[in-house]
């Protein structure tokens, strides 16, 4: 049941309409210093980005952002900082992916085809390196062993590079969210307070009080309308004397 729910979420992300502020190919150019930091200190960057994605409110932390079956079962509520540190050290790949899914679901961001190709190439290269290592262990050939080692080094380099670019992409997106590139993105208000952003609210004064729901407008009737007809009606001298006029047919 949970696996089907995760598959449904993955299918839903394919229909998101927004794009990342910076693609994976442009992250190095967009923020080179942070990309270097994410490459050499990857777990630290993952820790800081997850905390920032949660608006620095660690009471909202759930292991792997709630996207894995173990989420919510690791005692996160008692010591979220320790649990997050354990996650980024022992499950680094999942920590990066979870932060990515968290941002995508919050801002309806899709993953472009180019990003999918880069991430897919990274995974395929790791699988090929693993297969070569198994074959080299079974056959015992020195040439295959050397080839498997080269592939493993290449796969690790690609993995670290792609993860660094992904984390830089997340950081730039949160810079955009926090208004570093312009006006900050407004957070979604609670459902009972939602209104159109482009529709100004009326001033607090100058408008008559509105009736409560379920009552017609003007109910109950105003005080001056009570006791109808009003006192002094009809006015004095009405109808005039001699009415109807003489000769008027009866």
The rounded distance, in Å, linking the Cα atoms of 235 and 246 is 23
Task: Decide if 200 is inside a domain.
Answer: no
Query: Quick check: helix, strand or coil at residue 143?
Result: helix
Structural domain span for residue 99? 2-180
Task: Decide if 246 is inside a domain.
Answer: no
> Residue 237 corresponds to which tokens in the numbers above?
């001298």
Return the pLDDT at 29.
93
Return the pLDDT at 199.
42
Query: Quick check: helix, strand or coil at residue 111?
Result: coil
Task: Decide if 103 is inside a domain.
Answer: yes
Task: Decide if 39 is inside a domain.
Answer: yes
Return the pLDDT at 194.
38
> Which positions ≥6 away from 63 have C-beta within 8 Å?
70, 71, 72, 73, 74, 76, 83, 87
Return the pLDDT at 124.
92
Q: What is the count of structural domains for the chain?
A: 1
Task: Decide if 149 is inside a domain.
Answer: yes
Task: Decide if 52 is inside a domain.
Answer: yes
Task: Decide if 211 is inside a domain.
Answer: no
Task: Decide if 166 is inside a domain.
Answer: yes
Mean pLDDT, the chain cut into blocks of 10 residues (250 residues total): 62 80 92 96 96 94 85 85 94 93 90 86 90 87 86 92 95 92 54 40 40 44 52 57 57
């Amino acid at each position: 049941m949970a696996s089907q729910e995760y598959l449904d979420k993955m299918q839903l992300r394919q229909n998101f309409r927004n794009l990342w502020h910076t693609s994976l190919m442009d992250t190095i150019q967009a923020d080179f210093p942070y990309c270097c930091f994410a490459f050499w200190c990857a777990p630290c960057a993952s820790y800081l980005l997850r905390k920032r994605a949660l608006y620095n409110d660690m009471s909202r932390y759930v292991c792997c952002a709630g996207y894995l079956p173990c989420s919510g079962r690791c005692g996160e509520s008692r010591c979220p900082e320790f649990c997050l540190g354990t996650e980024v050290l022992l499950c680094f790949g999942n920590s990066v992916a979870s932060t990515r899914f968290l941002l995508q679901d919050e801002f309806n961001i899709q993953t472009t085809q180019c990003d999918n190709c880069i991430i897919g190439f990274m995974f395929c290269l790791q699988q090929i390196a693993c297969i070569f290592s198994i074959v080299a262990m079974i056959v015992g050939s020195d040439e295959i062993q050397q080839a498997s080692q080269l592939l493993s080094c290449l796969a690790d380099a690609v993995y670290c590079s792609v993860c660094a670019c992904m984390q830089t992409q997340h950081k730039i997106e949160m810079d955009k969210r926090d208004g570093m590139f312009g006006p900050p993105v407004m957070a979604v208000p609670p459902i009972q307070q939602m209104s159109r952003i482009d529709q100004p609210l009326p001033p607090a004064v100058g408008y008559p009080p509105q009736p409560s729901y379920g009552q017609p407008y003007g109910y109950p009737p105003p005080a001056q309308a009570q006791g109808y007809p009003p006192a002094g009606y009809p006015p004095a001298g009405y109808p005039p004397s001699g009415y109807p006029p003489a000769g008027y047919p009866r």
